[in-house]
Amino acid sequence: MYPILRRAALALAVLAPIAAPIASSAQPRSITIASTTSTEQSGLFGHILPIFTQKTGIQVRVVALGTGQALDVGRRGDADVLFVHDRAAEQRFVAEGFGGPRHHVMYNDFVIVGPAADPARIQGVTDVTEALRRIAAARAPFISRGDRSGTHAAELRLWQQAGVDVAAGRGAWYREIGQGMGPALNTGAAQNAYVLTDRGTWLSFRNRQELRILSEGDARLFNQYGVMLVNPQRHAHVKVAEGQAFIDWIISAEGQAAIAGYKVGGEQLFFPNASQPEPAS
C-alpha cells in the first residue's frame, strides 16, 4: 500500500469508533397521545396513524383510556397530545391551563344496544331519556363503563335528564365494570344487558351475540371529539413540534380525509368536522 493511502486508512480506523456512536445516538421522532378507548378499539388509529407516520416520520404511541383518565395523564405531563370526547371536561382542562387550544376533529353518535328480546321495550324509541326510564322501570340489566370516560360522562348526564337515580339500582340491575367500551360490550353480550356505546366501537365490534341497536337518533346522543396539545409551560418535556405536527395534520384536509375514509363493512365510523369553529361556551 502506498504511504499516503496507509495513513488515510489509519485515520479512518481511528475516526470510525468516534463516528459510530454519533450515528447510533439519533433517536426517531415520536409522540405520546392519550386518547379515549373508542379511537383505538374502533380501529381508527390503526387506519390513520400509519398515514401520519409515513408522511412525517413521527412515530405515535397511544395510551387508550377513558377520557377522564386521559385528561389526568395530560395533567401529569405523561402525554404530548390529548384526543378525547368530553367537551365540558376538555374546556375545564384548557381553563385550568393544562393545555390547548382545543380543536374540533370529528363526531359520531351514541346508541343504546340491548338484547333482541328487549325486555324494557325500547326498540324504536328515539327519546333517549324515555328509553332509559323504561330500562330502569323494568329493572333490566344495564352495563355501565363506570370509568370516567366521555361515554360514561354522557351516560350519567342522560340518566340525570331522565330523572333516574342509578345509585339506587347499583349492584342490582345497574352494573358498573370500570373498563373500556369493548369490555362493556362484551359484558353486555354475555349478560343480555343494555349498553350505551359510541357507534364507531359498535360497528367494529364482532361479539354481538343477541345485542342489537334499539334506541338511536336523539340529538342528545351527539358525540364530539377534540384534540389539543399539553401545555409545555407546565411540562417542559412536552414535544411541542411533533405534537403540533400531529394536530395540524389531523385537522388538515388530508387528515380529515383519512378519518372519513375509515369504514367498517362499508359504513363510515367517524365524520370529520375540524372546519367547525370551537364555540365560546
Domain boundaries, the chain: 30-107+224-272, 108-221
Which has the closest alpha carbon to 150: 216, 196, 98? 196
Q: How far is CA 2 from CA 5, 8, 14, 232, in A?
A: 5, 10, 19, 58
pLDDT in tens, 66-81: 888 999 999 999 999 9
Task: Report the share of the chain in percent with pLDDT over 70.
Answer: 89
pLDDT digit string, tens, across residues 107-123: 999 999 999 999 999 99
| Whole-angstrom distance, CA of residue 134 vs CA of residue 253 | 43
Contact (Cβ atoms closer than 8 angstroms) between residue 82 and residue 99: yes
Percent of the chain at pLDDT > 90 equals 78
CA distance 220 to 197: 13
In CATH, which superfamily holds the domain spanning 30-107+224-272?
Answer: Periplasmic binding protein-like II (3.40.190.10)
Average pLDDT over residues 155-160: 96
Q: Can you tell me the distance from the alpha carbon of 95 to that of 101, in angstroms, rounded to the nearest whole number?
A: 10
Q: What is the pLDDT of residue 4?
A: 44
Of residues 201 and 5, more confidently modeled: 201
Confidence check: pLDDT of 6 > 60: no
pLDDT digits (tens, 9 = 90+) for 18-69: 444 444 445 789 999 999 988 988 899 999 999 999 999 999 999 999 888 9
How confident is the model at residue 26, as a pLDDT? Answer: 59
Average pLDDT over residues 239-267: 96
| Cβ-contact 108, 269 below 8 angstroms | yes
- Residue 16: pLDDT above 90? no
Encode pLDDT of 86-100 as tens digits: 998 999 999 999 999
Contacts of 121 (CB under 8 A, 6+ apart): 134, 138
Give the model's pLDDT for residue 135. Answer: 98
Instruction: Please give the mean pLDDT across all residues of the chain.
Output: 89
Please determine, for residue 102, whether its predicted confidence score (pLDDT) is greater than 80: yes
Mapping DSSP onto H, E and C, the string for the chain reads: CCHHHHHHHHHHHHHHHHHHHHHHCCCCCEEEEEEEHHHHHCCHHHHHHHHHHHHHCCEEEEEEECHHHHHHHHHHCCCCEEEECCHHHHHHHHHCCCECCCEEEEEEEEEEEEECCCCCCCCCCCCHHHHHHHHHHHCCCEEECCCCCHHHHHHHHHHHHHCCCHHHHECCCEEECCCCHHHHHHHHHHHCCEEEEEHHHHHHCCCCCCEEEEECCCHHHEEEEEEEEECCCCCCCCCHHHHHHHHHHHCCHHHHHHHHCCEECCEECCEECCCCCCCCC
Domain 108-221 has CATH 3.40.1410.10: no
Distance between CA atoms of 7 and 208, rounded to whole angstroms? 73
Say what the pLDDT of residue 277 is.
66
Mean pLDDT over 148-152 rounds to: 90
Strand-pairing partners, residue 62, are 33
Report the DSSP beta bridge partners of residue 164: none
Maximum CA pair distance of the chain?
A: 97
